[in-house]
Amino acid sequence: MKRILALCAVCVIIASCAPKSEINLMPAEDFVTVVDGKDVALYTLKNADLTMQVTNFGARVVSLWTPDRNGNHEDIVLGYNNIDQYVNNPGERFLGAVVGPYANRIANGTYTIDGQVYTFPQNNNGQTLHGGLKGVDMVVWDVVAVTDSSILLSYLHPDGQDGMPGNLKIDMTYTLTADNEFKVEYVAETDKATHVNMSHHSFFNLKGEGNGTVNDHVLMIRASKTTPVDEVLIPYGTIVDVEGTPFDFREPKEIGRDLDMDDQQLRNGAGYDHNWVLDKQSCCDVELAASVYDPSTGRYMEVYTDQPALQFYGGNFFDGSTCGKYGRPLRYRESIALETQKYPDSPNHDNFTDTLLRPGEKYEHVCIYRFGTK
């Protein structure tokens, strides 16, 4: 631990000497390896204002450079500076990754389809999180096609991996669009009935990775209801109004404004780590779900999706013991995740979203992070 912290201190000094506007890409050679017999590499995508690096190990976004109101670029997603750290998980496992086949939590690591009970690996809270021990974040995705601004990745999640049924063929495209968007598109098909709920798990800090708290970021979530959870973050199965609670982000407010309120849900989540039910105008259209703004830099991000819900996580379990790409510690509440998805633990609640995918059907999902300044 002392050696890690000392390294952080040295790297912070080095990083602080670089001009803020300089884009320091991760060296591609630091991400070349072989995992489970498959080649891993690093890919760089660009448009006029955005630069993003992606590794096909877990389809992870390693870096995402965006300009502030003065045109200075910072890397606004958390990550590690070499592939070994992603493979061996020194701290947070899900940095920048795609998660699934079932994102979020499954209570007691089990669900039932057509009378058959399926069981999955459980964590220390007795639940399955983000797909199990391997999920889709700890595997190597096939790179199908790459352009200057997009990458098409594919993975066949085999029947029985982590106990989940069906050979699930997943195609996923990352695109940097001409509208300053990072667009994520999923299409999946199965040969056996299974539950599917994919999501993207980048951790954002609009000041830049390791540059301070996100509690002063101004957040809006277009949702008038949430699904309350117990002390291990499993939904009770109820859907409640946000009116009069710390979970009302329908009007933009600082993330930290209501964090000290006496609220059982805040205690259960150690802060914000909950599912918001989006106020959709239609079931299937891509609509605005959330926005977040950093007044200090002017960076502004909007989240659009065709999904019915959004998980907002406020970085409550980072403790500064692990360093990010530039040697700065990844600290408590210095990042947020905004994960578009269906409701957590839906297979175990009849009144929640339908996540069952059968042969002959297609799972489709669009998530867009749009960037700007003001």
Residues carrying an active site annotation = 201, 339
The two structure tokens encoding residue 235: 């939904």
What are the E-state strand segments in 32-178?
33-35, 38-40, 42-46, 51-55, 60-67, 73-75, 97-99, 105-107, 110-113, 116-119, 127-129, 142-146, 150-157, 168-176
Q: Please give the Cα distance from 65 to 15 (Å, whole number).
A: 15
Q: Which of 44, 22, 30 has its CA nearest to residue 14?
A: 22
Phi, psi of 139 (to 5 degrees): -125, 165
Angle at 183 between CA 369 and CA 148, to 5 degrees: 120
DSSP bridge pairs for 196:
none
Residue 270 C-alpha from the chain's centroid: 18
Q: Please give the Cα distance from 95 to 62 (Å, whole number).
A: 8
The DSSP secondary-structure symbol of 310 reads E
Q: Please give the Cα distance from 76 to 93 (Å, whole number).
A: 18
Burial of 93 (0-12, 13-18, 19+ CB in 10 A): middle
Mark out the alpha helices in the chain (DSSP H runs).
Answer: 2-16, 83-88, 264-269
